[in-house]
Amino acid sequence: GAAELGPYRHYMQKEIFEQPRVIGDTLEGVTGIMPELFGDGAYNVFKQIDRVLILACGTSYYSGLTAKYWIESVAKIPVNVEIASEYRYRDSVPHPNTLVVTISQSGETADTLAALKHARSLGMEHTLTICNVATSAMVRECKLAYITRAGVEVGVASTKAFTTQLAALFLLTLSLAQVNGLLSDADEAAHLKAMRHLPVAISSVLALEPQIMAWAEDFARKENALFLGRGMHYPIALEGALKLKEISYIHAEAYPAGELKHGPLALVTEEMPVVTIAPNDTLIEKLKSNMQEVRARGGQLYVFADVDSRITSGEGLHVIRLPEHYGLLSPILHVVSLQLLAYHAALARGTDVDKPRNLAKSVTVE
């Protein structure tokens, strides 16, 4: 009811603004990295596995895609991420030393549960879930679990469940790295410090809301949008595009920026806003030349940069600067700005933000 919403107009907005707190809740009590964060016996499981298979749907699938970048980079374990409804029906080559990871806000998504059972039927017994509902079927079905503490999520478009999943997946990355002897005490301390600082860092992104609202006014008048990212921010571009199409009904697509020249560049005109996630990482110079390709075709760039990205606004180039550069955890900050952009674009278009047409919060039938 209205009382529960407090100062917010929609549950989605309330849930976006709850993220500093629920990330803190999800990490509460984590004073050190250890496999047992995922349950008894996790050390033995993590010791035995030499690959990871992530199964999920929707927004949860995109947190899995982000985790692939983290796990392969930090823990050096190969990761496959599959859409549950595809995996369950295709012929795949099972490997017994696989850690099967399901990711689900509800823990009741029919396709994800079926994909888990399919993996098990192929002889893969090491199962772990990242889930927001402790009493769900998914948690009962998996041997290991990390329960995110996002609280009840009402908005159909997932926001706080996603960022808490990312926090849990980062803990999984560090735990796997530790078991593989790839996490020094100094690294562990530095990562824990960065994680503890996340609520403050997210709050500073939330403070950008007025600037993002001004952009959303432009977007509300468009019928198409393109989202670009590279590396671990490519899945965030996918999630940003999904958020925008789910609630504003603007057609949005995401591409890894290096793929622009292989197709989407043909779509770029003055009518096409191009959202670019541009953290100051090792790919920034490549990304700048991708942005140049867009500008040369008259495309309007809306760039989420960092304090030190050295990108300045100009003709056809709009820049919002995130307050700090956040290294490996940067996807968690950048997605918050895209959630706000989608929310305000939908608000400007007058759609039913919390209950978009044709969509359900939890898809428990096929």
Among all residues, which ones are annotated catalytic?
A: 361
Contact 317/303 with Cβ under 8 angstroms? Answer: yes
Nearer to ligand G6P, 153 or 306 (CB): 153
Per CB under 6 A, 248 contacts ligand G6P: no
**Residue number with CB closer to ligand G6P (156 or 287):** 156
Does 109 sit near ligand G6P (CB under 6 A)? yes
> Would you say 115 or 198 has its CB closer to ligand G6P?
115
Whether the CB-CB separation of 175 and 34 falls below 8 Å is answered with yes
Give the chain's largest Cα–Cα span: 57
CB 55 within 8 Å of CB 84: yes
Q: Is 310 left (phi over 0), alpha (psi -120 to 50) or beta?
A: left
Our finding on whether 362 is near ligand G6P (CB under 6 A) is yes
Identify residues 262-291 at the interface with ligand G6P (CB under 6 A): none
- Proportion of the chain in helix, strand, coil states, percent, rounded to 5: 50, 15, 35
SS3 340: helix
Least separation, in Å, of the C-beta of 305 and ligand G6P?
Answer: 28
Compute the least distance from the CB of residue 89 to ligand G6P, in Å.
17
Binding ligand G6P (rule: CB under 6 A), the pick from 53, 57, 260, 305 is 57
Q: Which stretch binds ligand G6P (CB under 6 A): 53-61, 93-101, 230-238, 291-299?
A: 53-61
Is residue 242 a contact partner of residue 270, using CB atoms and an 8 Å limit? no
Q: Which of 59, 163, 178, 337 binds ligand G6P (CB under 6 A)?
A: 59
Closest CA to 128 of 64, 57, 58, 62: 64
Q: Which of 104, 129, 148, 330 binds ligand G6P (CB under 6 A)?
A: 104
The one-letter amino acid code at 245 reads: K
Which residue of 26, 158, 175, 309 would you call a contact of ligand G6P, by CB under 6 A? 158
Looking at 40-48, 56-64, 121-129, 286-294, which segment touches ligand G6P (CB under 6 A)? 56-64
DSSP-assigned letter for residue 109: -
Q: Which stretch binds ligand G6P (CB under 6 A): 28-36, 106-114, 187-195, 260-268?
A: 106-114
Rounded distance between C-alpha atoms, residue 71 and residue 46, angstroms: 13
Question: Closest distance between ligand G6P and the C-beta of residue 104, in Å?
Answer: 3
Q: State in angstroms the smallest separation of the CB of 108 from ligand G6P.
A: 7
> CB–CB of 300/273 below 8 Å?
yes
In this complex, which beta carbon is closest to ligand G6P, that of residue 59 or of residue 339?
59
Sign for the CA dihedral angle at 198, 326, 80, 15 comes to positive
Alpha-helical segments (H) within 28-182: 42-48, 58-70, 84-87, 110-121, 137-141, 160-179
Taking CB under 6 A as the criterion, the residue among 20, 24, 58, 273 binding ligand G6P is 58
Count CA atoms within 13 Å of residue 212 on its CB side.
25
Choose between 180 and 362: whose C-beta lies nearer to ligand G6P: 362
Contact (Cβ atoms closer than 8 angstroms) between residue 160 and residue 16: yes
Closest-by-Cβ residue to ligand G6P is 58
Shortest reach from residue 356's CB to ligand G6P, in Å: 8
In whole angstroms, the minimum distance from the beta carbon of 106 to ligand G6P comes to 3
Q: By CB under 6 A, is residue 112 in contact with ligand G6P?
A: yes
Closest distance of CB 58 from ligand G6P, Å: 3
Q: CB nearer to ligand G6P: give 112 or 309.
A: 112
Helix (H) or strand (E) holding 129: strand 126-131
Q: How far, in Å, are 129, 238, 292, 299 from residue 286 at the CA level? A: 36, 19, 10, 18
The residue count for binding ligand G6P (CB under 6 A) is 15
User: Is the CB of 55 or the CB of 257 nearer to ligand G6P?
Assistant: 55
Cα atoms in the Cβ-side hemisphere of radius 13 Å centred on 185: 0
Binding site for ligand G6P (CB under 6 A): 57-60, 104-106, 109, 112, 156, 158, 359, 361-363
